Structure 1
């Protein structure tokens, strides 16, 4: 986590400094969702076929994937690693504000499936 200060105010961010990240425009941001309800349950960034990989996913992610017909969509592609990191953080916050309950464990804003209370009702029968 680091603090960014700009003319728009002060922001706490998990995005590393741009100079530390790849400038190659091969990154994208994606989201996984439940087809029947369009409930988004995961936001990620990657390159290549990262969005297809299901290894190293957490318990909650795997339970949703196991019990629901799910799909993935690319939110935006052709990004540098920094741009993808910023968009991932922004998109995560936007989807949360819309009421989507995300299973991300390591999340940009510090909340997620570690806080598995009643807000995860749609997942409770799976646990």
Structure 2
């Protein structure tokens, strides 16, 4: 995997994309070549407006997967489909785009590539199974 761009502005300067990676698919072979990341180091969980904004960035680019790294997660939980989780699920249903949310605890718990792969696969499955 190789970093392509950091803090890239769209042509009209209306949106910024935090990170764009090229996935050579040698390790993350189940993910596409282009991976977009939004990073939110907020003191509180990311709200539905931010999830919606990121979903729009991803779907406007016809991405099948996009990653939201939210230090404190997003509002709501798996058993309670709140607005942020509902936007994540509707992005899948309407645009076939999987918005994978990872938080600080997720990332700090990883000690191997195999664990990262399992975590991403688990999060993608949750979007399908639980609507979030």
TM-score per shorter chain, which class? under 0.3
TM-score normalised to structure 2 length: 0.22
Report 1 or 2 for greater relative contact order, CA contacts < 8 Å, sequence distance ≥ 6.
Answer: 1
Higher-Rg structure is: 1
TM-score normalised to structure 1 length: 0.23
